[in-house]
Amino acid sequence: MPSATRLLALAALLVSASATSGVTPPSQQGSFNQTPQDVTPPTPDNDLIAQTAGQVDQKSGPSIDAQPNAPVAATTVTALDGTLTNTTIADATAANSTRRRDINIGRFGKRQSKYEQVFAGLPAGQHDASLQSSAYLTYTVVNNATYNVDACTAWCDTIEGCVMVNLYYEFNNELLDFVFSEKSNLKCAAYGDIHSAAEKTNFGGQASYPQVGNETVPLTYITQSSGWALKALEDPDTPDGYELVFGPTGGANNAPGYMGFAFLDKYDVDACAALCNGRGVDPNGGGCAYFNIWRALVDGIPTTYTCSMYFLVADVSTAVNYGQGNLVVTLSRGYARKDALIDGGFEGYAGCDDFCFTTSYSNWIGTSSAGGNLDATFFFYQPYAHNGHGSALLGAAADADALAGTIAPAAPLVTESGAAYVVQCFTYSGFSGAQFEAPAKVDILWNGQRVGGVSGANTKYTFVEAAVTGTGSDHLSFVGGAAPAWIFIDDCHVYKA
């Protein structure tokens, strides 16, 4: 006895007799009037990343005139796609998206309040140097009656993102000696990364006191500069709307679907997630679906923190970029954007090995208009798909009527009530050519209300998105198509914005 899929195909052949367009319809394995260009998803430009890492300068520390206990600055972007910059996360995404999120300063990892000495200071009386390093956060001064290590590390526990402190005396600084209320010259500088004595490069030598007559102005100098870091670190909190895929490892992703990179001044997974959310759209791949954050050591010194973005989700199997030349990849983690939509690529339908279609399957339901036939179908056929082998079709698959169809997930979407989401899809309306496809139209409905859509003929799969708000249990549907103005749909996602 023939299978249900086979019977559906035979029925489609019979009803197609009423077709008037002269176009071989999708039900009969017709061909696109203009086949979309097959674009190979790009992979990272690792040489550009390494070259830019050699140019960026993220080393910093307390200046001689900096006020103690200043708030930690928000994470900034120091390079974007190979161009050096110094901008906020919001500004870095402004050109590509109107969506924003507030960014807290990042953290290398959660703290456990146990510290160990990373390097010792030179003996009292000998000139020393303080750190000038990446991921500087802020500084305080502690009571200088003793060399107060405990007070310095206890303060680090109160600073979000602090994993290391550099404790040292700074002499001949008028502000420390007479102006700032603490009246202490024992500085405690907080860092969001762990550094070594090789990075002690600030020897002082600045004039802080005013010139009085011909008197020689004493220059600042530093003594007893030691470093103390947490003994153990845990993974940072996973950003809202994401899930950890792998890490930490010593390899960065070298995967398809690459969208570009940014350097951050701290190891901040929330900031990297915000860049991914606001990255904009790759015309062939869609929105950012995944990011890989990692630390670059150059000649063994923490130099910058790379955020690479992808429109395809990668995994640890492609984390095979261990560095180039004197750059070594460390602390690499991958995070995928959570998708509230199950099987938005229609890959769950596999009724055959080559060509077949159905009106519904476990993940999706297609509904025809009253009096219509096969107005909403799902195909297993690689030439019709944007990616993979699955796609959905709106409009009578056999060209038997000119009515609209509706496709919808088989179950309501589980969302967070009141949270902002974005619906993203690729649509194609070039199957029967510009003349027949001119009236092509699809509406995106969220809980029965139109929130977006697309119309007209397109000669390639075209990206469309719509902003929505979750209620906790949401109904998504796509309505449109009117043969021979067919609409193919593929690679849909519902992401938290």
Give residue for tokens 């003996």: 123
pLDDT digits (tens, 9 = 90+) for 239-289: 999 999 999 999 999 999 999 999 999 999 999 999 999 999 998 899 999
Give residue for tokens 């180039």: 324
pLDDT at residue 41, as a whole number: 86
Contacts of 342 (CB under 8 A, 6+ apart): 348, 363, 409, 411
**Dihedral of CA 178/182/186/191: which sign?**
negative
Can you give the residue ranges of every domain in the chain? Answer: 46-55+74-99+237-337, 115-230, 342-496
pLDDT at residue 7, as a whole number: 43
Residue 16 clears pLDDT 50, i.e. is over it: no
Q: Cα dist. 408→332, 363, 379, 411, 474 in Å?
A: 38, 9, 15, 8, 11
Superfamily for 342-496? Galactose-binding domain-like (2.60.120.260)
**Dihedral of CA 272/278/283/289: which sign?**
positive
pLDDT digits (tens, 9 = 90+) for 144-175: 999 999 999 999 999 999 999 999 999 999 99
Residue 106 clears pLDDT 90, i.e. is over it: no
pLDDT at residue 8, as a whole number: 57
CB 26 within 8 A of CB 384: yes
Distance CA 143, CA 492 (A): 59
Tell me what the pLDDT averaged over the chain comes to. 91
Q: How far is CA 120 from the centre of its chain?
A: 39
Please state the pTM of the whole predicted model: 0.89
Distance CA 137, CA 128 (A): 21
- Per-residue DSSP letter, 239: P
pLDDT at residue 103, as a whole number: 34
